Chains A and B, each alone.
With several copies, the nearest count.
Chain A
Amino acid sequence: MVMPLYIEKKPEVLITEEGIRTDGRKPRELRPIRMTVGVLDKADGSAFIEWGGNRILAAVFGPREVHPKHMILPDKALVRARYNMAPFSTPERKRPGPDRRSVELSKVIREALKPAIFAENYPGSVIDIFVEVLRSDAGTRVAGVNAASMALANAGISMRGLVAACAVGRVENFVICDLNHDEDMWGNADMPMAMLMESEEVTLLQIDGPMTESQFKEALELGRDSIRFLYEMQKEALKRPYQVIERSVKGDL
């Protein structure tokens, strides 16, 4: 029997009547974000994202030879993604190896990125995407999608465009963007979202928690606005590999 040296505490108020959140942000305000592209030597492409307390590394290998061979697709590239949490990424140590959550997230991230990749340009090969969560602090899947999208570009994979991502959600009657740990844990609804920015089509969308018709529409729109902001940062980071690109929204998106 192993006991963690950690106790989860629920804040008394998640959001004030004036819309002030537990970390002092307003509903449409993002946490600080830093992006760095090209941080690894051996990967074909890589990116590092620091977003609030998240630290996430993404790398891409490919197009390369497929193993095992029976997975080869003759007319296009096989796209694989692996989302993995480091044992030291959580307050309580996480056992290494995939669990049900990480298996699902690996699929969701793959499906978020696949529409952006010109897979038909690389028949018979594989493009491997690895997302390693080194430190988790709510929103790891969307942070991972942003980093992985930059790593794909950094690897020179031909793409329809970048995929950018952000979580939105609901705390009481407020639709908010970029949920923090408390909001993720105790809020009313969580909605991670990603878009292929060429056409602003949604490539990742999940919801956990109820939203009314109008809240849902508001959330989709706030998601799109947040994602546009992320997209601008991605482009800037890709222009200056090895440089840290840093930003956050103060006040309002």
Chain B
Amino acid sequence: MFGPELITHNLLRDYIRELASQDQRIDGRSLHEFRPIEIKEGTFTKAEGEAWLKLGNTQVLVGVKADVGEPFSDTPNKGVLVSNAELLPLASPAFEPGPPNENSIEVARVVDRAIRSADAIDMSSLVITEGKLVYMIFLDMYVLDYDGNLEDALTMASLIALARAEISEVEVNDEGEMIIKESKWKLRLKDIPVNFTFVKIEDKLLLDPVLEEEQVSDAAITLAIDKEGRVCSIQKKHGMFTMEEIIKAANIARSKWPQITDKIMRVI
């Protein structure tokens, strides 16, 4: 739920909540079913890796760009990953132009945390010269059309864009100058930490909520599952959950992981 709260008519609110109590949803899905996931074919950016993903009517475009720079002084043997999300004003009447706000920062950090906590990128493989020169990976997440559940859409698209990224090889010659070579290397993923977002309506958990479900929900939570079935990241958003509900959400997420990962593997 973002920015200036979008007004949903009470009628729609009551209708969605009534449906949920009967295990139904406005778009006909079952409670724990994702919307259709589509990855658009084509070249849409100048990034080293990219993915334009549709999750129902939610559309996101993620680009992975690589530069070269110095490592942080406390991690001389690791590359740098910078994650940034832009909630473009063309994606929703509720989004306004301007620097990153609370919502864009949170969603970028939720995606970033899933990737880091699962150790999905081998950060030490990004080192060119220890302590001196490393690859800097910029993960730029662009929200084009917002119909709910940015977290899951952006996480999937980010994983695809990262796995597709082909980055120029770099050499440092004897004079210490950086040479950019013709050859490329692929940024391989060590894990596929998928995020799963649930909203709660009364005592029901709805996976992959659409915008209106987000708006009328009592609570929301996003969980990432790694390839070993472990919960590797959680972000409770608004509202509250019982411990049992959280464990249930983790179990549902775990059971859905192979299906989503399969979709991702097919396009990378």
- The answer to whether any beta carbons of A and B sit under 8 Å apart in the complex is yes
Query: What is the interface of chain A, defined by CB distance below 8 A to chain B?
Result: 1-8, 40-43, 46, 55, 57-59, 61, 64, 82, 84, 86-93, 96-97, 100-101, 103-104, 106-108, 111, 114-115, 128, 130, 132, 134-136, 189, 191, 196, 199-213, 215-217, 220-221, 224
Could you list 6 further interchain pairs (A-B, Cβ under 8 angstroms) beyond the known A216-B230, A216-B231? A43-B145, A88-B64, A90-B46, A100-B105, A103-B102, A207-B117
Residue A88 contacts which of B65, B101, B241, B242 (CB distance < 8 angstroms)?
Answer: B65
Q: For A101, list chain B residues within 8 Å (CB).
A: 109
CB distance from A102 to the nearest CB of B (A): 10
Q: For B247, list chain A residues within 8 Å (CB).
A: 216-217, 220
- Interface residues contributed by chain B, number (CB under 8 Å): 77
CA distance A124 to B170 in the complex (A): 56
Q: For A220, list chain B residues within 8 Å (CB).
A: 243, 246-247
**B250 on the A face (CB < 8 A):** yes
Question: Are B230 and A93 closer than 8 Å at their CB atoms?
Answer: no
Question: By DSSP majority rule, is chain A's interface helix, strand, loop, or mixed?
Answer: mixed
Query: What is the interface of chain B, defined by CB distance below 8 A to chain A?
Result: 43-48, 50, 57, 59, 61, 63-70, 74, 84, 86, 88-93, 97, 99-102, 105-106, 108-109, 113, 116-118, 136, 138, 140, 142, 144-147, 167-168, 170, 178, 180, 221, 223, 226, 228-243, 246-247, 250-251, 254
Given contacts A40-B145, A41-B57, A89-B45, contact A210 B178 (CB under 8 A): no
Question: Are B250 and A41 closer than 8 Å at their CB atoms?
Answer: no
Most buried by B among A57, A93, A206: A93
Question: Are B70 and A1 closer than 8 Å at their CB atoms?
Answer: yes
Question: Are A57 and B144 closer than 8 Å at their CB atoms?
Answer: yes
Tally of contacts, chain A with chain B, CB under 8 A:
207
Question: By DSSP majority rule, is chain B's interface helix, strand, loop, or mixed?
Answer: mixed
Question: Are B231 and A210 closer than 8 Å at their CB atoms?
Answer: yes
Interchain residue pairs with CB less than 8 A apart (26) = A55-B45, A93-B65, A96-B84, A96-B86, A96-B140, A97-B99, A100-B109, A103-B102, A103-B105, A111-B236, A130-B88, A134-B61, A196-B240, A201-B240, A202-B241, A202-B246, A203-B236, A204-B236, A207-B232, A208-B113, A208-B116, A211-B231, A211-B232, A216-B250, A220-B243, A220-B246
Question: Are B90 and A40 closer than 8 Å at their CB atoms?
Answer: yes
Question: Are A88 and B45 closer than 8 Å at their CB atoms?
Answer: yes
Question: Are A134 and B45 closer than 8 Å at their CB atoms?
Answer: yes
Q: For A107, list chain B residues within 8 Å (CB).
A: 102, 106
